[in-house]
Amino acid sequence: MNHKINKQVKFQDLGVIDYLPAWDLQEQLLKENIDLKIANRSLAPEEQSITQNHFLFVEHPHVYTLGKSGHEENMLANQDKLNEIHATYVKTNRGGDITYHGYGQIVGYPILDLENFYTDIHKYMRDLEEVIIRTISDYGLKGERSKGETGVWLDVGKPYARKICAMGVKASRWVTIHGFALNVNTDLRYFDFIIPCGIKDKQVASLKNELEHEVDMEEVKLKIKKHFQEIFGVEWT
């Protein structure tokens, strides 16, 4: 593979930002990398430019997003209800079904050129899950994978299994966008208006609900960054 490896990742915490501008930014960073990769094809290896990796933290105002393979019937609220609860609804190009983003939730968007790491989307998803599993383990919670259901769960296989972190990504020419959403101090009532990820009879969880107290969001972000660095072997810039 004629490709200069770059494991540096530019980190930005964008704070509270609407969903669409954050998506636009991801698409822009994706396009920059794809344009670079196309240009590199006609260059000798020593003349090629390195692609750039990014990692964004955001917190979105109330929004429901539907993945490209999702089912609209999993959205249970009509426009009047959305107006009442101050939420918006967006159809996206990520994988997965419907989910909710809102205050008190840490959303992570890694825009990685996987050719800098490994070209395996399945492994990428499992590694993202591992980042969150290790993060919530720092708070005494046992995160698990649920067969055929992406994300991080608690009490898998039990009647009260519940999802604490949703995930959905898209990759173009091995460059990823979208990512994960970890419920920290999230108001879980907002999940009542959807069938989360299209999975009926499954509950959602948050760190706050499990630990029975508010959790420091900045502390959680630092833990996510630490475990992401360990698992992906990145250098933050």
Give residues with Cβ within 8 angstroms of 75, minimum separation 6: 64, 66, 89, 98, 193, 194
- pLDDT tens column, 193-233: 998 666 666 799 999 999 999 999 999 999 999 999 999 99
Mean pLDDT of 152-159: 95
Q: Which domains does the chain have, with CATH numbers?
A: 9-232 (3.30.930.10)
> DSSP readout, 58-69?
EEPSSEEEE-TT
Q: Which strand (E) or helix (H) includes residue 159?
A: none
Give residues with Cβ within 8 angstroms of 95, minimum separation 6: 67, 68, 69, 150, 168, 169, 170, 178
Residue 4 pLDDT: 82
- pLDDT tens column, 180-189: 999 999 999 9
Residue 105 and residue 180 in contact, taking contact as beta carbons nearer than 8 Å: no
Q: Please tell me the distance from the alpha carbon of residue 121 to that of residue 169, in angstroms, as a whole number.
A: 9
Percentage with pLDDT > 90 across the chain: 89
**Would you place residue 1 in the very low, low, confident or very high pLDDT band (cuts 50, 70, 90)?**
very low
Q: Please tell me the distance from the alpha carbon of residue 142 to that of residue 119, in angstroms, as a whole number.
A: 29
Q: Please tell me the distance from the alpha carbon of residue 52 to that of residue 12, in angstroms, as a whole number.
A: 13
Catalytic residue among 131, 167, 197, 224: 197
Q: Using only C-alpha atoms, what is the Rg of the chain?
A: 18
Query: Is 165 tagged catalytic?
Result: no
Q: Please tell me the distance from the alpha carbon of residue 170 to that of residue 188, in angstroms, as a whole number.
A: 26
In terms of Cα–Cα distance, which of 212, 213, 235, 215 is closest to 225?
Answer: 235
Mean pLDDT of 57-80: 94
**Strand partners for 64:** 89, 100
